[in-house]
Amino acid sequence: MNENRWASRRAKAMPVDMFATMDAAKSQARARGLEIIDLSLGASDLHPPASALRALREATDDPATYGYCLHACTQPFREAAARWYGERYRCEVDPETQVLPLIGSQEGFANLLFATTDPGDTILLPDPGFPSYFGAVAVAGLDVVPTPLLAENGFLPDLSAIGTEDARRARVMVISYPNNPTAAVASDAFMREVAEFCADNDILLVHDFPYVDLVFGDYEAPSVLVQPGGLRGRIELYSCSKSFHMGGFRLGWAIGDAEVIAALARVKGSIDFNQYLGIQRAAIAALAEPRRRVRQDAAEFQARRDVLVETLNQAGWETPLPKASLYVWTRLPSGLSDSFAFTVNLARETGIALAPGRGFGVQGEGFVRFALVRDAEVLKRAVERIHAFLD
């Protein structure tokens, strides 16, 4: 990339894509005829609700869905998202001013930075974190102050460790619970604390919340928008990718402070024309499904988690049991320290692809992430093959 004369400084500043590295290793395994078990990507293998697929099929026969979709035309989707949030968190939000559709939360995050920061502004960013955060802050030209997510703190940022000057300078703070990649969860008390910290320091709090529904047992994921102070200076990003297995459909939504929503709408207005109306109708149908449905899907991921964690522990690979998300995050097997070397060799030699912890930031080194995106039998087989490889 550095020799590419057309690449901008921004493009050159983009971090190396770990998934491209893993893809090359998978191709080598495929060329050797190995069965590929890809647990490196958090792409759900379950299916969207039938009601959503039906709504999309019907929409493709409706010429009213064929044109550009301007803001006004997203009203039914905004209303559905507001209704969903109101029922889930017992808090009314205004679909006109406090809700905005996104073409996936990844797109929403990048444009949110354009909408609310200027180059050189400071952002408090989790490390490890979702890889596209690092690209988005590079493109926006932000000065990153990492908030390390350490095992000893339950993978929550230590707010007391953020320097007074960093807190004063910071314009935005990003959190995401249930967390990718650590699978950590946050309590309501933590959400209150972080909301208060940001309010005290005049920092926009961005809660990336795509795993809201992937919670196990009686754990419920708290929202920052219902903490004291409400939506002021806060925004949450939601996604159809995880709750409804619609990753390829590219639809999410933001809820939060009306001024932040207005700034984001303004930036997006020059960049995109919203997602296809038929996909919005599919999401409206999915959002109207009873809670039971997402609970059932979460229970499937929970059962996979149980099998994977038990099989790993039985094989002597000590692994904690996460309470939520689509992932299991664990330290590298003993004696290993380079997560890229381990996962690339593993994929090449066995066809099993895991995500290297280092791909999520400096603090991710020494860890590896399993995505629970294959059924329990396949996960068991994967662990057996990893074990044989390690032997």
| Residues near ligand PLP (CB under 6 A) | 42, 104-106, 130, 176, 180, 208, 210, 239, 241, 247, 252
Residue 222 tokens read as 């708290």
Query: Taking the complex as a whole, how short is the minimal distance between the CB of residue 21 and ligand PLP, in angstroms?
Result: 17
User: Which one, of 44, 49, 79, 53, lies nearest residue 253 by Cα?
Assistant: 79
Query: Taking the complex as a whole, how short is the minimal distance between the CB of residue 257 and ligand PLP, in angstroms?
Result: 19
Query: Taking the complex as a whole, how short is the minimal distance between the CB of residue 190 and ligand PLP, in angstroms?
Result: 17
Residue 373 tokens read as 């995106």
Residue 170 tokens read as 């910071």
Q: Which is nearer to ligand PLP, 208 or 257 (CB)?
A: 208
> Burial letters for 196-221: b for 16+ Cβ neighbours within 10 Å, e otherwise?
ebbbebebbbbbbbbbbbbbbeeeeb
Q: Which is nearer to ligand PLP, 74 or 239 (CB)?
A: 239
Query: Taking the complex as a whole, how short is the minimal distance between the CB of residue 329 and ligand PLP, in angstroms?
Result: 12
Q: Which is nearer to ligand PLP, 147 or 201 (CB)?
A: 147
In sequence order, the β-bridge partners of residue 324 are 215
**Packing angle between helix 277-288 and helix 75-89, nearest 10 degrees?**
20
Q: Which is nearer to ligand PLP, 106 or 330 (CB)?
A: 106
Q: State the pairing for strand pair 170-175/204-208.
A: parallel
Which amino acid, 181?
Answer: P
Q: Which is nearer to ligand PLP, 29 or 246 (CB)?
A: 246
Query: Taking the complex as a whole, how short is the minimal distance between the CB of residue 41 and ligand PLP, in angstroms?
Result: 8
Q: Rounded to an integer, what distance in angstroms lies between the CA atom of residue 53 and that of residue 252?
A: 16
